[in-house]
Amino acid sequence: MAETRTRPTEMRVTDFIEAAPDAVRREDAKTLVELMSRISGEEPRMWGPSIIGFGSYHYRYESGHEGDACRLGFSPRKTELVLYVLNGSSAQEALLARLGKHKTGKACLYIKKLADVDMGVLEELVRDALAAMDARYPR
């Protein structure tokens, strides 16, 4: 079975953010680090080459595959911010309707820039995501 590449690394989060070529992406990443640190009570840590994560949990699928992942996280990619916070709950669906300009994937929220969204609603989404993680994977 293949090992996951997304594990904690020794890369410094500040170095990763400062290396981003776009000033808006750098500032948005700093804002998200502050938001997720405050909500989770965790220090940011690099997971793999491009995910900034907060906390960790251990998962095990019915297939037997298991590993560790961050409880909350995001990646400031070249064209958008990718937040790993979606869980498909009805509460999140209602919040997404009020968020502002975004796209979604199965577990990912895609935002071009934080100026496009309501930060209060985004904070509620992050809190909901953490609460869902805490319920499913108690610390």
Structural domain includes residue 8: no
Look up residue 5 and give its DSSP letter: S
Tell whether 3 is covered by a domain: no
Instruction: Let me know if residue 60 belongs to a domain.
Output: yes
Q: Are 6 and 51 in contact (CB under 8 A)?
A: yes
* Angstrom distance (rounded) from CA 84 to CA 70: 9
Render each residue's pLDDT in the chain as its tens digit; 139 residues.
Answer: 445 667 888 899 999 999 998 999 999 999 999 999 999 999 999 999 999 999 999 888 888 888 889 999 999 999 999 999 998 888 899 999 999 999 999 899 999 999 999 999 999 999 999 999 999 888 8
Domain of 76? 13-136
Domain membership of residue 121 (yes or no) is yes
Number of domains in the chain: 1
Q: Is residue 49 part of a domain?
A: yes
Strands 103-104 and 66-69: unpaired
Residue 7, CB-side half-sphere exposure with 13 Å CA sphere: 7
Residue at 7 is within a domain: no
Residue 22 tokens read as 């776009």
Indicate whether 5 belongs to any domain: no
* 58: its two tokens: 């251990």
Look up the pTM and report it: 0.92
Listed in sequence order, the residues at least 6 apart from 14 whose beta carbon sits closer than 8 Å to its beta carbon are: none
Check which CATH number belongs to the domain holding 69 and give it: 3.90.1150
